[in-house]
Amino acid sequence: MTAASRSPKDFFRPLALGAPAPLREIPARPSRAIHFFDPSNPKMAAKIPDMVGTVDVLLGNLEDAVKADNKEAARNGLVEIAQGTDFGPTQLWTRINALDSPWVLDDLTTLVPAIGDKLDVIMVPKVQGAEDIHYVDRLLAQLEAKAGLDKPILVHAILETARGVANVEEICGASPRMQGLSLGPADLAADRRMKTTRVGGGHPGYLVREDPPRVGGVANLEASRATYQQDLWHYTIARMVDACAMHGIYAYYGPFGDISDTTACEDQFRNAFLLGCVGTWSLHPKQIAIANKVFSPSVEDVAHARRVVAAMGDGTGAVMLDGKMEDDASLKQCLVMVELAEQLAAVDPELKKQYDAIGADSDEQEA
Ligand SMILES: CC(=O)SCCNC(=O)CCNC(=O)[C@H](O)C(C)(C)COP(=O)(O)OP(=O)(O)OC[C@H]1O[C@@H](n2cnc3c(N)ncnc32)[C@H](O)[C@@H]1OP(=O)(O)O
Ligand SMILES: CC(=O)C(=O)O
Ligand SMILES: [Mg+2]
């Protein structure tokens, strides 16, 4: 807790008289793909009502990628779409403009009264430290109270500055509104002076090379040697995942800008999934299917996890399964997988069918 933080006794108190009480726990709602659209783009906007139910989160983007001349149209377009659409099981998020921009105050003072009852999460870009979250937290409480909202709007921060990364733990713990963090690889690369020109993903120059072969103890430096590309984002994602887990909130990959390279996109998303992220961004409709596939545990993993849960009985001790030791700790990993599968099956009937089918198969295997 920093000096500027609220004391534990006040942490869950509303920050304005009449504002809804903060949540004690952030709900684990499926959010495999956060699909970005520009509400000022008529072609994209027209597609949004039909995308409800096909993606876990629809996000009306007001920040970068929306032209300065279209900022107002994007804000008003989002209000129109939100008011005219029943989002059913799909969450509605927005990304507001940066806190030092000329647009953000109007973003918040327009959106909360107009569609605050429909907005699940507000994504805040370029968050530098807890002070940015405290500012948004208080302002949202005032606006929620004025609008008579009965449910608090949650806040998601983008990790896209070196200072934000340095302050990642205090950002996650700055408010009970904090829902999660996303990696912002493009702005973060610029802020760090990384020598890349991409939006997310790897780089062929960031590699390790195998040792030279030795002949009679002498290295043959002329021989060809295999190289292995490394992940530029491993460090930041790992820090982000730990900070989020420590505070009971959720970590997300972020954008993968090479829309045409669906294979590398899938690889990058999978690395994030394996490290603990619950979802990622989709910039183009074709990235939704990739995200849904990667961030849903495979039927094989769910089948195995269920077998371990069944074999572990009361959850203590050690057993052998297929030649491998399973104990309390591997059981906990399997429970993460089984619980995620249950949450996703509740919103995705096709996935439910697949998980139910292997459920029956593994029952037969057990019998
Ligand atoms: C670093 C960051 O901040 S990342 C986050 C900010 N960036 C964004 O939000 C980008 C969002 N995506 C986009 O702007 C677009 O997808 C682009 C510019 C990348 C590509 O757009 P296009 O060149 O139109 O792509 P493409 O021609 O393949 O589109 C096919 C169709 O899908 C539509 N489409 C494209 N992207 C989206 C989207 N995100 N949501 C809904 N529909 C979309 C297009 O309008 C087009 O519709 P049509 O068939 O009726 O003509
Ligand atoms: C995600 C984002 O905003 C960035 O990469 O800069
Ligand atoms: Mg950015």
259 Cα to the center of ligand 1, angstroms: 9
Question: Which domain CATH number covers 55?
Answer: 3.20.20.60
Q: What pLDDT is attached to residue 362? A: 56
State how far the Cα of 157 lies from the Cα of 179, in Å rounded to an integer: 8
Q: Is residue 214 part of a domain?
A: no
Which tokens hold the place of 74? 């994007």
Q: Is residue 222 part of a domain?
A: no
Residue nearest to atom 17 of ligand 1 (CA): 284
Contacts of 89 (CB under 8 A, 6+ apart): 53, 347
Q: How many domains does the chain have?
A: 2
Q: What pLDDT is attached to residue 359? A: 61
48 in Cβ contact with 84 (< 8 Å): no
Which tokens hold the place of 193? 């002076």
297 in Cβ contact with 337 (< 8 Å): yes
Last residue of a domain, one of 295, 327, 352: 295
320 in Cβ contact with 308 (< 8 Å): no
Atom of ligand 1 nearest to the CA of 200: 1
Q: What is the pTM of this model?
A: 0.96
Which DSSP string corresponds to 269-336? Answer: HHHHHHHT--BEEESSTHHHHHHHHHTS--HHHHHHHHHHHHHTTTS-SEEEETTEEEEHHHHHHHHH
* 170 and 310 part of one domain: no
Q: Which of 66, 128, 158 to mutate to test the pocket of ligand 2 (most atoms within 8 A of CB)?
A: 158
Ligand 1 pocket, 64 CB below 6 A?
A: yes
Residue nearest to atom 2 of ligand 2 (CA): 184
Contacts of 124 (CB under 8 A, 6+ apart): 95, 96, 99, 132, 133, 136, 155, 156, 157, 158
Q: Is residue 219 part of a domain?
A: no
Range of the structural domain that residue 176 is part of: 3-204+227-295
* 59 and 125 part of one domain: yes
Q: Is residue 325 part of a domain?
A: yes
Q: What pLDDT is attached to residue 6? A: 83
Q: Hey, is 235 helix, strand or coil? A: helix
* 256 and 161 part of one domain: yes
Residue nearest to atom 1 of ligand 2 (CA): 184
* 287 and 306 part of one domain: no
Q: What pLDDT is attached to residue 5? A: 73
* 235 and 326 part of one domain: no
DSSP state of 96: P
Ligand 2 pocket, 63 CB below 6 A?
A: no
282 Cα to the center of ligand 1, angstroms: 10
| Dihedral angle over CA of 283, 144, 20, 140, nearest 10 | 60
Ligand 2 pocket, 158 CB below 6 A?
A: yes
**What is the residue-level pLDDT of the chain in tens, covering all 367 positions?**
454 578 899 999 999 999 999 999 999 999 999 999 999 999 999 999 999 999 999 999 999 999 999 999 999 999 999 999 999 999 999 999 999 999 999 999 999 999 999 999 999 999 999 999 999 999 999 999 999 999 999 999 999 999 999 999 999 999 999 999 999 999 999 999 999 999 999 999 999 999 999 999 999 999 999 999 999 999 999 999 999 999 999 999 999 999 999 999 999 999 999 999 999 999 999 999 999 999 999 999 999 999 999 999 999 999 999 999 999 999 999 999 999 999 999 999 999 999 999 865 555 555 4
For the chain, report the end-to-end CA distance as a whole number of angstroms: 52
Q: What pLDDT is attached to residue 3? A: 45
Q: Hey, is 137 helix, strand or coil? A: helix
Last residue of a domain, one of 271, 295, 319: 295
* 50 and 189 part of one domain: yes
* 184 and 317 part of one domain: no
* 145 and 283 part of one domain: yes
Candidates 333, 154, 329; CA nearest to 247 is: 154
Given the cut 0.95, state whether the ipTM is greater than it. yes
184 Cα to the center of ligand 3, angstroms: 5
* 188 and 309 part of one domain: no
* 96 and 21 part of one domain: yes
* 328 and 284 part of one domain: no
* 171 and 311 part of one domain: no
